């Protein structure tokens, strides 16, 4: 930095700014710490600011998987269209680490320091909610919510504004699954670890969803209405109990990521997977015989999936 740059930092009015005590869950973020952190935030390029703030959707001390975070950024169009998405988003992560705004745990995970989580939540307070919503809430996390009924009325009233919904097996998920149609503008939906055997047919009304996480869930089969999710880019079924993939999967023409790691219950994939020519990640392919009137997936379906990267396990 030049002498002029340092002088602008010293003379900045931000050093006079104090956070109201009620606005933060951490007493540490007040006093002299916040202005310094805000200077780091304000000095970020515009495209990194939204990416940084989005991280507060996760709970404190949560190990965020970089791959999942990147795909959520893409779903919300926080990444510029028409660029090399993978290379650019990896650079975004590196930049945030270099600015000391996120902490690298290993090559696949990052974490927020509590103070930085408070900062991001302070900046995004109007749009980010945990357990409850307002008319301004666009991103909602139910992680660790143990009394879903208490917040149900408030959340369902404003659900039509929500673009992100994070839930887990401890969130009394069934309360919200019954009212999925209220969340009609969802772009990101995480049902990680959900206990239900199958998804409701109403999933078909979430036509704007681009990211769907059902990893570690007990869902065994998908409804044929999955074909209505034509904007879907990411479908994470890693470590789930999924048993078969329907032929309608082939209609998801925008799908880039199909997570099938450790899906040992998966025995049947219907014909049509070869239509998914935008796939970058597949992990596992099961060549199988026909099942009744439904044709099974043949090894030849892989010939058009020429954008695949990473490892691919072929079985059958």
Question: Which two tokens mark 7?
Answer: 């002088």
Please indicate whether residue 294 or residue 260 has the higher confidence score (pLDDT).
260
Last residue of a domain, one of 94, 113, 132: 113
60 C-beta neighbours (distance < 10 Å), count: 15
Which two three-digit tokens encode residue 65? 């998987």
If one compares 161 and 152, the residue with the highest pLDDT of the two is: 161
- pLDDT at position 148: 55
Asked whether 16 and 38 are in contact (CB, 8 A), the reply is no
Q: Is the per-residue pLDDT at 275 higher than 50?
A: yes
Same domain, 173 and 286: yes
According to the model, what pLDDT value does residue 237 have? 96
Tens-place pLDDT, residues 167-216: 876 655 666 677 788 898 999 999 998 888 888 888 889 999 999 999 99
**Residue 59 pLDDT exceeds 60:** yes
Higher pLDDT, 64 or 87: 64
Report the predicted TM-score, pTM, of the whole model to 2 decimal places. 0.88
Min mean pLDDT across 177-191, 229-243, 257-271 is at 177-191
Contact 200, 181 (CB under 8 A): no
Q: What CATH number has the domain bearing residue 173?
A: 3.80.10.10
Taking only Cα atoms into account, the Rg of the chain, rounded to an integer number of angstroms, comes to 21
pLDDT in tens, 2-32: 566 444 544 555 445 555 444 444 444 555 6
Supply the range of the domain harboring residue 44.
Answer: 3-113
Q: 51 or 182, which is more confident?
A: 51
Rounded to 5°, the CA angle 124-63-24 comes to: 35
Do residues 227 and 87 both lie within one domain?
Answer: no
Domain containing residue 85: CATH number: 1.10.10
| Residue 125, token pair as written in the block | 């307070």
Across the strands, what pairs with 244?
Answer: 221, 268
DSSP 151: H
Nearby residues of 94 by Cβ (< 8 Å), 6 or more positions away:
none
Confidence bin at 146 (pLDDT 50/70/90): low
pLDDT at 85 over 90: no
Task: Average the pLDDT over 161-171 and give the result.
Answer: 81
pLDDT band at 119 (very low <50, low <70, confident <90, very high): confident
C-alpha distances in angstroms, 116 versus 34, 49, 55, 194, 205?
Answer: 9, 13, 10, 29, 36
Greatest mean pLDDT among 63-72, 148-157, 198-207, 220-229 lies in: 63-72
H/E segment holding residue 102: none
Q: Are residues 77 and 169 in the same domain?
A: no
pLDDT > 90: percent of the chain: 50
Please check whether residues 242 and 278 belong to one and the same domain. yes
76 with 129, same domain: the answer is no
Same domain flag for 105 and 78: yes
Quick one: pLDDT at residue 175?
63
Q: Mapping DSSP to helix (H, G, I), strand (E, B) and coil, where does residue 160 land?
A: helix
Domain boundary among 113, 135, 166: 113
Assign 232 a pLDDT band (cuts: 50, 70, 90).
Answer: very high
Residue 36 has pLDDT above 80, yes or no: no
The helix/strand count (H/E) of the chain reads as 8, 14
Q: Do 160 and 126 belong together in one domain? A: yes
How is residue 118 written in tokens? 């408070």
Residue ending a domain, among 113, 140, 166, is 113
Give the residue from 72, 57, 77, 90 showing the smallest Cα distance to 168: 57
Tell me, rounded to whole angstroms, the distance of Cα 44 from its chain centroid.
Answer: 22
Q: Quick one: 83 and 226 in the same domain?
A: no
Please provide the DSSP assignment of 240-307 as one string: ----EE-GGGGG-TT--EEE-TT-TT--EEBTTGGG-TT-SB-EEEE----BTTBPBPPGGGGGG-TT
| Domain total in the chain | 2
What is the pLDDT confidence band of residue 316, given thresholds at 50, 70 and 90? Answer: confident
Mean pLDDT, all residues of the chain: 84
Q: Same structural domain for residues 273 and 152?
A: yes
Tell me what the mean pLDDT of segment 139-165 comes to.
Answer: 76
Q: Give residue for tokens 């699954």.
A: 177
Contact between 258 and 235 (Cβ < 8 Å): yes
Q: Are residues 59 and 171 in the same domain?
A: no
- DSSP summary character for residue 21: G
| Residue 136, number of CB atoms within 10 A of its CB | 12
Specify whether 134 is located in the same domain as 78. Answer: no
Instruction: Say if residue 183 is in the same domain as residue 290.
Output: yes
């Amino acid at each position: 930095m030049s002498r002029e740059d340092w002088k602008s930092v010293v003379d900045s009015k931000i050093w006079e700014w104090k956070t109201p005590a009620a606005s933060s869950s951490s007493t540490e973020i007040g006093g002299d710490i916040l202005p310094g952190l805000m200077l780091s935030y304000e000095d970020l390029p515009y495209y990194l600011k939204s990416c940084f703030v989005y991280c507060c959707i996760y709970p404190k001390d949560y190990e965020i998987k970089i791959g999942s975070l990147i795909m959520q950024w893409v779903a919300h169009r926080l990444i510029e269209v028409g660029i090399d998405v993978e290379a650019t988003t990896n650079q975004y992560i590196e930049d945030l680490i270099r600015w000391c705004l996120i902490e690298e745990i290993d090559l696949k995970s990052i974490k927020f320091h509590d103070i930085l989580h408070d900062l991001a939540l302070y900046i995004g307070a109007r749009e980010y909610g945990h357990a409850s919503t307002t008319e301004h809430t666009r991103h909602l996390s139910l992680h660790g919510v143990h009394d879903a009924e208490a917040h149900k009325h408030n959340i369902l009233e404003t659900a039509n504004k929500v673009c992100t919904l994070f839930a887990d097996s401890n969130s009394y998920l069934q309360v919200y699954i019954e009212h999925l149609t209220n969340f009609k503008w969802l772009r990101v939906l995480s049902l990680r670890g959900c206990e239900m055997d199958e998804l409701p047919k109403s999933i078909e009304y979430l036509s704007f969803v681009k990211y769907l996480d059902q990893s570690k869930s007990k869902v065994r089969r998908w409804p044929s209405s999955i074909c209505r999710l034509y904007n879907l880019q990411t479908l994470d079924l890693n470590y789930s109990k999924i048993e078969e993939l329907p032929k309608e999967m082939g209609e998801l023409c925008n799908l880039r990521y199909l997570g099938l790691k450790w899906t040992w219950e998966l025995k049947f994939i219907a014909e049509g997977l070869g239509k998914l020519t935008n796939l970058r990640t597949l992990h596992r392919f099961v060549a199988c015989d026909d099942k009744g009137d439904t044709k099974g997936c043949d090894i030849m379906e892989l010939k058009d999936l020429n954008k695949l990267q990473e490892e691919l396990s072929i079985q059958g």
